[in-house]
Amino acid sequence: MTINDGNDKPAVWVKNLTRKFGDFTAVDNISFNVGKGEIFGFLGPNGAGKSTTIRMLCGIIEQTSGDGYVGGYSIRGENDRIKKITGYMSQKFSLYNDLTPAENLEFYSGVYGMPAAKRRERMEWALEMSGLESRRHDLTGDLPQGFKQRLALGAAILHQPSILFLDEPTAGVDPLSRRDFWELIYSLSASGVTVFVTTHYMDEAEHCDRIAFIDKGILIKLDTPRALKNLQLSGRIFEIIAAEWLKAFNLLRNERRGFGEVSLFGTKIHLNFIGDDFSAVESLLREKNIPVESARHIPPSLEDVFVALLRPAQISDYEG
Amino acid sequence: MRYLAIAKREALSIVRDPRSLFLVVFLPVMLLIVYGYGVTFDIRHVPVAFYDQSRSAQSRDLIDRYLSSGYFLLRESANSRESLDRLLIGDKIILGIVIPPDFADHIIAKNGGEIQVLVNGSDANTANVAMGYQAAVFADYTGDIFKPPSNLKIPSVDLRIRTWYNPELKSSHFIVPGIIVIIMMLLGAILTSSAIVREKETGSIEQIVASPIKPWEYILGKMTPYIVISLSDVMLVVAAAYFVFNVPIRGNLLYLGFFTVLFLANALGIGLFVSTVSRTVSSSQMFAVLISLLPSILLSGFIFPIESMPRPIQAITYFVPARYFLVILRGIFLKGVGVDVLWPQALFLTANAAFFLTMAALKFKKKLD
């Protein structure tokens, strides 16, 4: 399937898109472009407006205002054309649990009006891709989560869409399967498919060509992972490892001198240190009898950047 | 064939749940048998009490005529007006008959005489029917007592009544079709009422809405398997009517099938419409019961004649599919008529089916909120 537009045109083009639910603004006046064949990551906390944006672009819900083009077609009135060239995988698993994987795929091939000749071949491909060839006659509801997600992805790309919307596709999937998932996303992208993916896994976000940070419906930052990590943070990131990590974390967070923003990465503490002399931190911990196993200056990860971006006000306060 | 994909999927889901399927297929027959026996407009064994002040051969003859008619059942004997009153107040009897002390004298003298009948009017319908029975028995009695001598010829109009279609006026012959209409309306609406809203609850509607399927493909696809199920229900129910209740089927069964499909499209269309506007399965089922059951009983002409309703209510009955199917079933069962007579009903059913299904397709406008 090809889109009837020139190569210069973006696959997705969004201008001032807004969606309100009553008084609540889920998506607030966002604008961005997604290039053809790009893997475009939508990153943000729960309720940030990621799903709402995707659902507007797929024509599932109506936008309150603003405009968007998907594959050259407007989301205002050309939804039917958009739906033919897009694939969508919703955040909540929404294949039929009382059908077998084969039946689910057959259903989607029918709903997308695929020609009969192509159906069988694509269904076999999707079953193989999701590793369900031997379980094709089991009930979908009985499958482990990872298989379900792969089946859902298979169903979403069965009709070979040119633009693919994946809403948290790897939620509840084990790390190994997640890697397989991303291998597949890479290969789709390499074959020219545009992939628009939301996630809250930072390591996944690094696989994207570009990342859009979104919070409270507002697009905060849009750039490549490399550029984002090179963003000039207000301080230096220190990773502190301590056996009594929770105690240390609370201590640093409540410290009035204001060393900088602290956040937890598992049991490791990241401190976005805005002072000059890090030994002040170490002596504070020593004073409070919290032994430190290691404390070192590290390059900022994407999550550090994300944390810093989410609290811009505080950062400028410290800077003063 | 996107329509077929929807229909096949729905059918698979139905088959995967054999217990519900079994219930859906056999419930209507069970309901028909229960209600067919239970519901009757025939009133028999009207409880009655006599306060016989005459205590004569004549009064006993009259009482015997009442009791042997088969319509009345002697509940208790009263030996005072007060005890008769108590029986009426306590709803023990429908009729209280007082035979005065001079009854026998008047009969022997052939100069008239009177009895008093007290009717418990708290159930006006039964009272009315009981009065009718009573009057017939009494007319019969006086006719025999005061028979003119056989040599005397009195000119009179010869009244010959013939009841067509249901010569014995068996109420089961028109109640059973009515019950079939109500059961199928209710079942049809309930069957489809959860079909779409269930997808909203499980979230599978998201993928449907994101696909290029058209609303009418979705609605018709959803309806198709239920047409098959409810059509087989109707076959079972009609067989039960014929074999269990001995309701005659004088018309053509093919016509019956044709009209039934039209009617079912209405019932299922109403259910689908309810399903598109509801947010939860439980609310949609409640709504479906309300919208299908009450109008089918009250506004279909089953119990209350449409002709005697006020005009605005009559206007509403045009949207009650049961109204048309009732005429169709009685027409085919009892009269043996076909499309030549029933085409207006077929026309109205078609228009209503189109209306309900279009409403459902319009409400399912492929955007969620």
pLDDT band at B151 (very low <50, low <70, confident <90, very high): low
A-B C-beta contacts closer than 8 Å: 85
User: Sorting pLDDT into bands at 50, 70 and 90, what band is B364?
Assistant: confident
Residues above pLDDT 90, as percent of chain B: 58
Q: pLDDT band at residue A319, thresholds of 50, 70 and 90? A: very low
Please state, for a pLDDT cut of 90, what percent of chain A lies above it.
50
Q: Answer whether B367 sits within 8 Å of A90, measured CB to CB.
A: no
Residue B369: pLDDT over 60: yes
More confident residue, A215 or A255: A215
What angle is formed at CA B188 by the lines to CA B183 and CA B194, rounded to 5 degrees? 130
Residue A58 has pLDDT above 90, yes or no: yes
Say which DSSP state A135 is in.
G
pLDDT at B366: 66
The closest CB to that of A94, out of B2, B206, B213, belongs to B206
Across the interface, whether the CB atoms of B367 and A83 are under 8 A apart is answered: no
A23 CB-near residues (< 8 Å, 6+ apart): none
Single-letter amino acid, residue B65: R
Q: Looking at CA atoms only, how far is residue A25 from chain B in angstroms? A: 14
Distances (CA, A) of A265 to A120, A203, A237, A241, B88: 46, 12, 12, 10, 86
The number of beta carbons lying within 10 Å of the beta carbon of residue B296 is 25
Mean pLDDT, range A58-84, rounded to an integer: 93
Q: Give pLDDT tens digits for B227-244.
A: 999 999 999 999 999 999
Nearest to B212 among A84, A92, A107 (CB): A84
Q: Which of B201, B20, B6, B52 lies closest to A92, judged by CA?
A: B201
Residue B96 C-alpha from the chain's centroid: 31
Whether A315 has a pLDDT exceeding 80, the answer reads: no
Structural domain boundaries in chain B: 2-39+170-368, 46-145
Q: Which residues of A touch B213 (CB under 8 A)?
A: 111
Residue B208 forms contact with A (CB below 8 Å): yes
Structure tokens at B351: 């228009």
**B209 interfacial to chain A (CB closer than 8 Å):** yes
Q: Is B106 on the interface with A (CB under 8 A)?
A: no
CB within 8 A of A133, min separation 6: which ones?
A127
| Alpha-carbon span A210 to A212, nearest angstrom | 7
Query: pLDDT tens digits, residue range A91-134?
Result: 888 899 999 999 999 999 999 999 988 999 999 999 998 889 99
Is A83–B204 a contact, with Cβ atoms under 8 angstroms apart?
no
- DSSP lists the bridge partners of residue A43 as A199, A213
Query: What's chain A's average pLDDT?
Result: 87
User: Which range has highest mean pLDDT (A198-202, A256-260, B176-180)?
Assistant: B176-180
Taking only Cα atoms into account, the Rg of chain A, rounded to an integer number of angstroms, comes to: 23
Do B206 and A92 count as a contact with CB atoms less than 8 A apart?
yes
- Give first-to-last CA distance, chain B, whole Å: 28
CA-based radius of gyration for chain B: 28
Task: Check if the beta carbon of residue B192 is closer than 8 Å to that of residue B360.
Answer: no
Please compute the mean of the pLDDT values over residues B2-6 and round it to a whole number: 92
Give me the pLDDT at residue B357, please: 95
Topology (CATH level 3) of domain B46-145: abc type-2 transporter like fold (3.40.1710)
- The span from the CA of A90 to the CA of A113, in Å, is 20
Interchain contact, B204 vs A95, CB within 8 Å: yes
Q: What is the pTM of this model?
A: 0.80
DSSP letter string, A258-311 = --EEEEEETTEEEEEE-SS-THHHHHHHHHTT--EEEEEEEPPPHHHHHHHHH-
CA distance B190 to B222: 13
User: How far apart are the C-alpha atoms of A291 and A285, rounded to whole Å?
Assistant: 7
Nearest CA in chain B to A165: B210
Contact at CB, B207 and A84, closer than 8 angstroms: no
C-alpha A89 chain-centroid distance = 13
Sheet architecture: strand order including B95-99: B72-77, B46-52, B95-99, B116-119
Residues recorded for chain A: 320
* Average pLDDT for B252-271: 95
Mean pLDDT of B310-334: 94
Q: Judge whether A273 and A240 are in contact, CB under 8 Å.
A: no
Residue A285: what pLDDT?
86
Write a three-state SS string for B263-299.
HHHHHHHHHHHHHHHCCCHHHHHHHHHHHHHHHHHHC
Strands A163-167 vs A86-89: parallel, antiparallel or unpaired: parallel
Nearest to B13 among A88, A98, A108 (CB): A98
SS (H, E, C) chain B: CHHHHHHHHHHHHHHCCHHHHHHHHHHHHHHHHHHHHHCCCCCCCEEEEEEECCCCHHHHHHHHHHHHCCCEEEEEECCCHHHHHHHHHCCCCCEEEEECCCHHHHHHHCCCCCCEEEECCCCHHHHHHHHHHHHHHHHHHHHHHCCCCCCCCCCCCCCCCCCCCCCCCCCHHHHHHHHHHHHHHHHHHHHHHCCCHHHHHHCHHHHHHHCCCCHHHHHHHHHHHHHHHHHHHHHHHHHHHHHCCCCCCCCCHHHHHHHHHHHHHHHHHHHHHHHHHCCCHHHHHHHHHHHHHHHHHHCCCCCCCHHHCCHHHHHHHCCCHHHHHHHHHHHHHHHCCCHHHHHHHHHHHHHHHHHHHHHHHHHCCCCEC
> Would you tell me the crossing angle of helices B339-363 and B215-243 to the nearest 10 degrees?
140
C-alpha closest to that of B95 among B103, B105, B84:
B84
All residues of chain A having their beta carbon less than 8 Å from the beta carbon of residue B210 are 58-60, 83, 86, 88, 90
Q: Is the dihedral of CA A69, A86, A209, A262 positive or negative?
A: positive
The per-residue pLDDT for A8 is 64
The pLDDT-based confidence of A312 (bands split at 50, 70, 90) is low
Q: Scanning every residue of chain B, which has its alpha carbon at the shortest distance from the alpha carbon of A55?
A: B210
Q: What is the pLDDT of residues B23-69, one digit of tens each?
A: 888 999 999 998 888 877 777 788 999 999 989 998 999 999 999 98
Q: What is the mean pLDDT of residues B175-180?
A: 92
Residue A13: CB atoms within 10 Å: 17
pLDDT at A5: 46
Residue A205: strand, helix, or coil: helix
CA B263 to chain centre: 16
Q: What is the mean pLDDT of residues A163-187?
A: 88
Question: How would residue A4 be classed by pLDDT, with cut points 50, 70 and 90?
Answer: very low
Bridge pairing between strands A292-298 and A236-242: antiparallel
A225, two tokens: 């992972």
- Between CA A1 and CA A205 the distance in angstroms is 28
Q: Please check whether residue B9 touches A, CB under 8 A.
A: yes
Comparing CB atoms, the residue among A84, A94, A106 nearest residue B202 is A94
Q: Return contacts of B273-279, CB within 8 angstroms, 24+ apart.
A: B273/B356, B273/B357, B273/B359, B273/B360, B273/B363, B274/B189, B274/B193, B275/B192, B275/B193, B275/B194, B275/B195, B275/B196, B275/B197, B275/B360, B276/B196, B276/B197, B276/B360, B276/B363, B276/B364, B277/B363, B278/B193, B278/B197, B279/B197, B279/B200
d(CA B14, CA B50): 61
